Amino acid sequence: MRPLVLALGLVKLVSAYQQVPFTAPSPTALLSAEFNTFALELLDEWAVPGLSLGIVKVGNDGKLLTDFRGYGTAGKGRKVDQDTLFGIASNSKAFTAAAVAHLVDQGKLSWEDKVTQLLPDLKFSDTFANEQATPIDILSHRTGLPRHEHSYQLGETPKEFVQRISGLRPSAEFRAEWQYNNQMFVTAAYLVSELSGEPFTDFVSSTFFKPLNMTATTYTPLLDDTDAMKHLSSSFATLKNWTSVEIPYNFNATFDQLQLHAGAGGVVSSAQDLVKWLAFLIEQRKTVSGSTTDGSLDTILSPESVKRMTDGHMLQEVASEWPETSAFNYGLGLRSFSYRGVQAINHGGDIPGFGTQLLWSFDRGIGVVALCNADGTGNAVADVAAYRAFDELLRLDKIDWNSRYREKYAVARAERVARISSAFALSTADVVPSDHLKSYIGTYHDYAYGNISVCPSPSSDYPSSTSLPIACSALSQRLDGVLSTDDTPPPSPRALLVAAPGLFGISHLILEHDAGESWKGVAASVFGGVEGREQGLLVYDGSGEIKVELVEGKQVEVWGVWGAGPEVWRREKERRKEGMWGEPEVVFTRV
C-alpha cells in the first residue's frame, strides 16, 4: 500500500471568513514504510475494519508537511483514505471550548464570569457551584457533577436540558475532583448559541470550519447532501467472537438531537481536515512560546485563548498510567502531559461505532490524527497507532504499545464479564412472590432523569393479560432475538427490567433479586438496524455494579449509574465492599 502524502504551505488569513488556502509541493513521507505493515496487523488483531491516519509537521518557518495513510475498509465496499469521514466523538470538545474562547476574544464574556449569570436557565444543586462556577469550571470537568450520562431525554431542547441540571446530585465538592461530564459541554454549546444569537453548529462552522478550509467537516452528515454520506464511514461493533458487525450511526439524525449533543461529541470529520485543525492549534500555541507570526490567524482564535485551552486547569489523574507519561492535566477540551520528556497535548473520543485519538506537541511542531470505525477495540487501535506514529516523529525507540493495550484490554474485558456474570448469578433462595413482583411493575419519575418503567423479563411467567407500561412493551420488542456482544449467561426468568429510553447511554437495566426489596444488576443498550441481521445488538455496560431498592412499589432508589470520576469511584468501590452504599444517586417516584 502506498501512503498518501501531501506537503502543505499555510498562507496567512486576511478575513475570519476567508478560507485558509493550502498548496501542494513535493510529497514527503513522515512515517516509515514499516508502519504500513504494523497498522494492517493491528487492524487484523483487534478486528477493527478501518483506520485513517493523518500526520502533520509544522516548521519554524510556518511550512506544513503532512502524511496521510488509510488502512482497511470504510464499509459498503469502500476503502479508508484521508477523506473518509468519522464521528470524532469527544474530540469535538476542543471545538466547543474554542467557540467559547472566540467569544472571550470578542469581548462577549470573560473567563471569570459566572455561568449561572450568563445563563439564567442554569442552576446547580450545590450552592457554592451555583454562585462561583465559571466557563473554565464547566470546560475542565470540575463542577462536582459526575457524568449522569443516563439523564438525557429524547426530544428535549438544549434549554430544557440545561434547566434540568438543577436536579442532578454532585458526587464531589465543587473544584475538588476531576469528573468527566459531557453535560457541561452541552451547556457550553448552549451558552455559545445564546451569546452569539445563532445555532451553535452554525457558529462553529463559520468560525472554524470555513476559515480553516475544513470543507468536509460537519455536524450533520445525515442531513447534508449525498457527498457527505458517500464519505461517511460505516460504524462497527466487535462481537464476542472477535468479528465485526455494522451498526447504525445514530447521532445527528434530527436537528433537535444535533443541537443537544453537538457540543459534547457531534463533529464528523476526516484526517485531511483534522490535520488543518492541529496545524492551526500548533501554530497559535507556538506563537505564545516565542515564535513570531503576523497575527493574521488571531481573528479565528488568539494565541492566548489557545494557551488557555492547552494549559492544565484540573489534575485528571493522581498517578501516571505508563512510565513514559506524566499525570494528565485537563485543560479546556484538551489534556496536557509530558511524554518521554516532550510536552504533549491529546484527547480521545468514543461513540458507538467510532474511536479516535488526537495527539500533538506544539513544542516539537508535530501532530497525529488517528480515526477508527469501531469503539472499544477501535479506541485501542487509535491509541496504539497514534503513540507509535508519535514515537517515529520524535525519532525515539519504539515502545510496544500494542502489547500494553492488549493486556489492558484483556484485564478490563475479564473484569467486565465477571461483573455481569456475578450480577446474573445472585442467590435465588429468597424468591419474590408473583404478587409482590406485580406491585413493582409501573412507571416512575425523577425531575432530572425523567421517566423509567419497571418491567418483567420477557422470559418470565408474568401474566400476559396484565397491562404493562408502553415502555415495557417497546423494550420487549427490541429484545426479541437480540444478539449479545458478550459471552455471559442470560438473566433469569425472574429478573426485572427497568426501561430507561434516554438519548445517550443505556436503554435498560437488568436486575436480579438480592434480598428483601434490594436488587442488583447491570445496564445494557440495544442497537437496532444491525446490517445483515434481523435481530438487534445487545451491549452490556459492565463498568460497575448497579443496586436498586424497590421501596414498597412506591419508589425506585438507584446506585451505580451516575458515573463518578476516577478518584471518587475508587473510594465508592472501597466503601461498597463493606456494604456502605450511602445515599441513592437518584430516586424515582411512582407516577
Model pTM above 0.85:
yes
Indicate the DSSP class of residue 149: G
Task: State how beta strands 4-10 and 63-75 pair.
Answer: antiparallel
Q: Using CB atoms within 10 A of its CB, is residue 228 exposed (0-12), middle (13-18) or buried (19+)?
A: middle
Residues 322 and 230 in one domain: yes
To which H or E segment does residue 264 belong? helix 255-265
Query: Over 8-67, what HEC string results?
Result: EEECCCCCCCCCCCEECCCCCCCCCCHHHHHHHHHHHHHCCCEEEEEEEEECCCCEEEEE
Residues 447 and 387 in one domain: no
Strand runs labelled E in 316-395: 329-330, 335-339, 342-351, 354-361, 366-372
Judge whether 170 lies within some domain: no
Judge whether 368 lies within some domain: yes
Judge whether 561 lies within some domain: yes
| Percentage of residues of the chain with pLDDT beyond 70 | 87
Q: Taking the CB of residue 147, how many other CB atoms lie within 10 A of it? A: 20
Residues 260 and 325 in one domain: yes
Residues 511 and 441 in one domain: yes
- State the total domains in the chain: 2
Most confident of 212-216, 292-296, 454-458, 491-495: 212-216
Q: Using CB atoms within 10 A of its CB, is residue 78 exposed (0-12), middle (13-18) or buried (19+)?
A: middle
Q: Each residue of 12-25: pLDDT tens digit?
A: 332 333 444 333 33
Residues 66 and 215 in one domain: yes
Residues 256 and 374 in one domain: yes
Judge whether 98 lies within some domain: yes
Judge whether 486 lies within some domain: yes
Residues 560 and 428 in one domain: yes
Q: Each residue of 405-443: pLDDT tens digit?
A: 999 999 988 888 888 887 777 655 566 766 778 889 999
Residues 364 and 493 in one domain: no
Residue finishing a domain among 345, 371, 399: 399
Residues 394 and 425 in one domain: no
Domain range for 541: 417-590
Residues 65 and 210 in one domain: yes
Residues 382 and 476 in one domain: no
Judge whether 238 lies within some domain: yes
Cell of 210: 470555513
Residues 242 and 315 in one domain: yes
pLDDT of 2 above 60: no
Residue finishing a domain among 399, 434, 459: 399
Judge whether 135 lies within some domain: no
Residue finishing a domain among 372, 399, 426: 399
Q: Each residue of 397-407: pLDDT tens digit?
A: 999 999 999 99
Give the CATH number of the domain where residue 304 resides.
Answer: 3.40.710.10
Judge whether 385 lies within some domain: yes
Q: How many CA atoms lie within 13 A of 527 on its CB side?
A: 26
